[in-house]
Structure 1
Amino acid sequence: MRERIALNPITDVYSLARGRDLNEFLLSLGGPSLLTFKGRDPSRCRVVVTLLHGNEPSGLNAIQALAQENWVPSVTCHMIVASTAAAATFPWFSHRMLPGQRDLNRCFSSSSDDVQSMLAGSIKNTISELKPECVIDLHNTSGSGPGFCVSTQDSRAHQALASCFTAWMIVTDIRLGSLMEQSLGCPVVTIEAGGAKDETANKTAYAGIKTLFDKADVFEASQPVGLLRNPRRFELRQGYSVAYLDRPDNAADVCLRTDIESLNFGMTPAGTHLGWVRDNALSPFVLDDNENDAQRYFRVTDNQLYTVLPLRLFMATSNADIARSDCLFYFIREGGS
């Protein structure tokens, strides 16, 4: 049996948050933690997991703000704060994970004995022991952009959870080993609050958590939710390099335009220029299913990369490290898969 990494239990979040800035609050946790706000109805609970990636601070920011207001939720609120070491590595909140470690949100289906898989297992076990009504996995997007929800299911319960935070839910069949894919005995969704540097992301996280925990019936929708289906991942093949420039550069296999994040969640017409490709082909790219059908959606002409169809891009990033280790962006074909 794998060794379990214990989460630090913290029941007086109010005292811990008082008089501290966000960095000091993070350090005061002392490691991956389970923070509890006792609700007016302590017989029921809901769970928010945040900071699975150390460069996504909006969830932690919201927790501290609520604690500093002496907030008392309707039902007991459990907050799991995960990648504290990565977040506290200088520069603060800039490391998705520690160098050499796996992406924590790719380890929830893993049976390995590395530290990230053990932490993922501890988070799953803790949630199972708490028996919550629902679980929210709260993130920031990789680049700047509006917030949205991602779910593996489109039930009314999942849509109601999404509605606490956003008016959009993406229903995905992509499986990566993430928390939202797990069977936890209750509905689970991922919330992408927006970019880590977007002030609106902090507001989305704060308002969404308050709505989630102040509702007597969490499965009563707060607003209508539009559904988007069948996202794809546009990935860089291993061994290829990427840079973000407004011109081609022979030092990089792929150069994406510097304002690529401005395309997030908007309508990107067919024929939109995305960047430059040194090979003058789609060979550096692969889609999520490892089939080389990128040509259905993209083309390279005169070493320049264009969209073939109208697409809705999201999670586009100008961070080359994230682009290499995760993906360049996700997309949905407007009007069909």
Structure 2
Amino acid sequence: MEPSPFDELHALPDGFLDAIPETLHRILPRPAIIRLAGLRQPALTVVLMLHGNEPVGLQAVQRLLRRHAGRALPRALTLVVGNVRAAALGQRHLDDQPDFNRIWPGTEHPGSPEAAMFARIIERLRHDGLFATIDLHNNTGRNPHYACINRLGDSFLSLAAMFGRTVVYFTRPRGVASMALAALAPSVTLECGHPGEEAGIAHATEFVDAVLHLERFPVHAPAAQEIEIFHTVAQVRVRPGLHIGVGTSADVTLEPDLDGLNFQMLPAGTRLVRQARAGLDALVAIAPDGRDVTREYLGEAGTDVYLRQPMMPSMLTLDTRVIAQDCLCYLMEPMDLGQASRG
């Protein structure tokens, strides 16, 4: 039988609770599933460190397990530990790696050993049975704490609402953990602010602890007035090969306060970036179904690239490496749950 590309443990390895992202690889030299017993089954699954520069998952789980030290967990807990190699260097992913949150089953980037690994992890979790799944992340731009879901079922909405009022529904990018895990159990991705912020670590810890204590999900979804839900309509990327700069002349120039526009409804005509010359077509917008919708959402006036219609951006960042590896931002619209399919 082909050897497994990840480890499977039934207890915390020595040193896990004291590890920092940069030293985690000494405790877990490769991705791992760690199954911890609890009073109820099936297990809550928490995914952490898929991006090596986003430590909130590790920090929240460590805090939670210290809180429960010496007594049984209220529910079994399964940890999926991701990119320990990238964590050692504080990077989202290494140059020789794919993005660990874009290659789960359903990915548009199949064929890598890492994608095959996550397919095997999904099958192992499917065999176990799951109560719910939580994927914990930080982000580099200024954003509120918010929950993301990929399905609009009542249990998904209830899980998201436990984290806060702000909820984002998206179906692209493909290959993210929460989308693959949604086939197994109610699933949510949590965006917990900047790395290292105490508020984000505390919020994530309390949320995971609250879900561990649930006996079941509420019968009904939260009322429409209890949450604000937004639907992602496009992912905006910088065309490959262009140089990105902040406040200085580049192929694509970002204003130093650009990420202050996150989660604000911006009027048509709002400038997103400046490009080095007219007609450069520096940005491309991709709809959830994969269509190029650049002309629908973005326009150019000289060197300015602007919004053609009112939009709310999320995940705007000034981290040029993250922009090159992932995207500039997502464009969102408010969503009326009463008119949405709740499948």
Question: Normalising TM by the smaller chain, what interval?
Answer: 0.7 to 0.9
Check if 1:212 corresponds to 2:211: yes
The verdict on how the C-alpha distance between 1:49 and 1:156 changes in structure 2, with shifts beyond 3 A counting, is same
Q: 1:237 aligns with which of 223, 236, 239?
A: 239
1:160-239 paired onto structure 2 within 5 Å: 160-182=158-180, 184-219=183-218, 224-239=226-241
TM-score, length-scaled by structure 1: 0.85
Residue 176 and residue 20 in structure 1: after superposition, are their counterparts in 2 closer, same or farther (change >3 A)? closer
- State the percentage of identical aligned residues: 23
Instruction: Give matches, 1:26-41, under 5 Å.
Output: 27-41=26-40
Q: Once the two structures are superposed, what CA deviation does each residue of 1:294-323 show, in whole Å capped at 9, x if it has no partner? A: 343333324123333332111111111221
Deviations 1:128-152 (A, max 9, x none): 1221122222222242321212222
Establish whether residue 97 from structure 1 lines up as the match of residue 96 from structure 2: no
Q: CA contact under 8 A between 2:75 and 2:212: conserved in structure 1?
A: yes
1:299 aligns to what?
Answer: 299
Mean Cα deviation higher: 70-79 or 288-297: 288-297
Shift, 1:23, TM fit:
4.4
* CA distance 1:29–1:181, change in 2 (3 Å): same
AA in 1 matched with 2:117: L
- The 1:266/1:201 distance shift into structure 2, 3 A limit, reads farther
2:283 matches 1:314: no
Q: Does 1:76 align with 2:76?
A: yes
List alignment gaps of at least 5 residues for structure 2.
337-343
RMSD over equivalenced CA pairs, Å = 2.8
Aligned equivalent of 2:116: 118
Alpha carbons 1:273, 1:305 under 8 Å: kept: yes
Aligned-partner Cα distance in 2 for 1:334–1:66: 34
Equivalent residue letter for 1:228: F
Give the equivalent residue in structure 1 for 2:323. 323
Shift of 1:63: 0.9
Structure 1 gap ranges (5+): none
TM-score norm. by structure 2 comes to 0.84
Find the aligned partners of 2:234 and 2:199 in 1 and give their Cα distance: 26
SS at match of 1:99: coil
How many residues align? The count is: 326
CA contact (8 A) 1:103 1:116 kept: no
Cα deviation code 1:89-110 (max 9, x no counterpart): 2xxxx21112221111221135
Please give the alpha-carbon distance, in whole angstroms, between the structure 2 residues aligned to 1:127 and 1:154.
22
Determine helix, strand or coil for the equivalent of 1:195. coil
Partner Cα distance (1:100, 1:160) in 2: 38
State how far apart, in whole Å, the 2-side matches of 1:331 and 1:186 are: 27
- CA–CA separation in structure 1 for the residues paired with 2:327 and 2:278: 20
Are the aligned partners of 1:22 and 1:64 in contact in 2 as well (CA < 8 Å)?
no
